[in-house]
Amino acid sequence: MTWKKFSGEVIHSSILEEVEQAIIRETEKGFRLKVCIGTDSQVKGALTDFATVIVLLREHHGGFMYIHQEKTLQKMSIKERMLVEVQKSIETAYSVCDLLDLYDVDLEVHADINTNPMFKSNKALNEAMGYILSMGFIFKAKPEAFASSTCADKMVH
């Protein structure tokens, strides 16, 4: 799985090593960190582009992120696509949660799903929320889900 920095620079070590180095570097500078993970997707013709982000927030001092992108030709309903987004976020959260526990860094999983029933993505809300919460993760939906709806969104548009 290839991860990149926002600058486009490819990360050659594992994402776990990269996140650990970032946590050590930022905490040594005196920053309190929180990690937010989210995925967004965009359908472009027959192709669906998924972007998953790991956002490291420095309390009151901005943040930075790592991005993983993948494309698929698989046809999906909007609900399926929302749940695939959530699955990608959960897989990523699961891969880093032990490391974050070790360094006492809070983790949130953000879903690009609208809490307003008038939006199509709302169809997937209950399942996505149940899925994330049952894994023991803190869940945020729109409008609080900036990792998926702002950060990951920039990578697929």
Decide if 121 contacts 153 (C-beta within 8 A). Answer: no
pTM above 0.85, yes or no: yes
Residue 20 has what pLDDT?
A: 98
Decide if 11 contacts 18 (C-beta within 8 A). Answer: yes
Decide if 103 contacts 87 (C-beta within 8 A). Answer: no
Residue 151 has what pLDDT?
A: 75
Mean pLDDT (whole number) for 27-55? 95
Residue 34 has what pLDDT?
A: 96
101-154 residue pLDDT tens? 999 999 999 988 878 888 877 888 888 888 888 989 998 888 788 877 777 777
Strand order in the sheet with 47-58: 4-5, 63-72, 47-58, 33-44, 106-114, 138-142
Query: To the nearest 10°, the Cα dihedral for 115, 118, 121, 126?
Result: 50
Domain residue ranges in the chain: 4-156
Model confidence at 79, in pLDDT bands (50, 70, 90)? confident
Decide if 36 contacts 91 (C-beta within 8 A). Answer: no
Structure-block tokens of residue 78? 């909007």
4-156 maps to which CATH number?
3.30.420
Structure-block tokens of residue 12? 């050659």
